[in-house]
Amino acid sequence: MSAQSPWPAHRASPWDTHLAAPAQPERGEQGLSMAQAQRLQRYHDRLLCALAARDREALRQAKQGILKAAYWPGAADAASPAWRRAMRTLSWQMAALLLPRGRH
């Protein structure tokens, strides 16, 4: 028996299916190389360090670096599909990271 949506006219669209599905590599696609995994970890660590230090400018710079690596036209040409997917996932996860405005 399938679960029904709380919306009476709601049917699963391709977008709903895409959002609900876990990110899986395409068939025949290679994963991240060790260098790419380490670079991804450095981006992630920069975000966490900026949050821990409550440094708004460092957080902004870390976010901009991730956005550039994920979406800059020149970066997409040289990157593997696994790298682009990992960076785009990280960019969506970091979108919610904000520091509260406060007086210093």
The dihedral of CA 11, 20, 86, 43: what is its sign?
positive
pLDDT tens column, 37-72: 899 999 999 999 999 998 889 999 999 999 888 888
List the structure tokens of 76. Answer: 């997409």
**Distance separating alpha carbons of residues 67 and 59, to the nearest angstrom:** 12
pLDDT mean across residues, the chain: 76
Note whether residue 56 is domain-resident: yes
Mean pLDDT of 26-33: 70
List the Cα angle 37/41/42 in 5-degree steps. Answer: 120
Indicate the pLDDT class of residue 9, thresholds 50, 70 and 90.
Answer: low
Q: What is the pTM (predicted TM-score) of this model?
A: 0.64
Note whether residue 49 is domain-resident: yes
CB atoms within 10 A of CB 95: 11
Note whether residue 14 is domain-resident: no
Note whether residue 26 is domain-resident: no
Provide the domain limits for residue 90.
33-94
Note whether residue 90 is domain-resident: yes
- Per the structure, the count of domains in the chain is 1
